């Protein structure tokens, strides 16, 4: 992984941590104002909905990332794909394919698109 890929990998990991998922301020810094998510639930969320929903409905969940890949689409635009295992209550596991698009604005990387697709 090059330096940019390591940076984006770290940001993706941070978005899966309890510290970030429960913090409106941290989420606000990592998500662009035009953020959109196609959730694994089949619902579509914007930044406002994420900032209202995620910290308020925070639950302790463990995420394990595998098969991470980052591709630079153009200067300041990175596309990531990876798989997560979401483990709830140390027993229930949901595996999803995920993709994100990150944009660098004035030296600050922010996610502006994310999609999660559950797999069997």
Give the helix, strand, coil percentages of the chain, each rounded to 5. 30, 50, 20
| Structure confidence at residue 24 (pLDDT) | 95
| Structure confidence at residue 91 (pLDDT) | 74
| Structure confidence at residue 58 (pLDDT) | 66
- Digit-coded pLDDT (tens) for 62-90: 899 999 999 999 999 999 999 999 888 77
Q: How far apart are CA 70 and CA 51, in angstroms?
A: 25
Alpha-carbon separation of residue 28 from 1, 13, 31, 116, 118 (angstroms): 27, 16, 6, 20, 25
- Digit-coded pLDDT (tens) for 8-39: 999 999 999 989 999 999 999 999 999 999 99
CATH topology of domain 3-119: Nuclear Transport Factor 2; Chain: A, (3.10.450)
Residue 60 scores a pLDDT above 90: no
Structure tokens at 10: 């770290």
- CB atoms under 10 Å from CB of 47, counted, come to 19
Q: How far apart are CA 39 and CA 62, in angstroms?
A: 18
Q: How confident is the model at residue 92 (pLDDT cuts 50, 70, 90)?
A: confident
User: What are the residue boundaries of the structural domains of the chain, listed by start?
Assistant: 3-119
């Amino acid at each position: 992984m090059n330096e940019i890929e390591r940076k984006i990998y770290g940001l993706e990991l941070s978005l899966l941590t309890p510290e970030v998922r429960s913090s409106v301020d941290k989420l606000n810094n990592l998500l662009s104002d035009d953020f959109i998510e196609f959730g694994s639930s089949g619902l579509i969320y914007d930044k406002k909905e994420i900032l209202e929903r995620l910290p308020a409905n925070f639950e302790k969940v463990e995420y394990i990332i595998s098969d991470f890949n980052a591709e630079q689409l153009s200067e300041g635009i990175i596309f990531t794909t990876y798989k997560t295992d979401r483990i709830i209550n140390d027993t229930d596991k949901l595996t999803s394919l995920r993709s994100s698009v990150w944009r660098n604005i004035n030296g600050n990387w922010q996610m502006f698109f994310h999609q999660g697709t559950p797999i069997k």
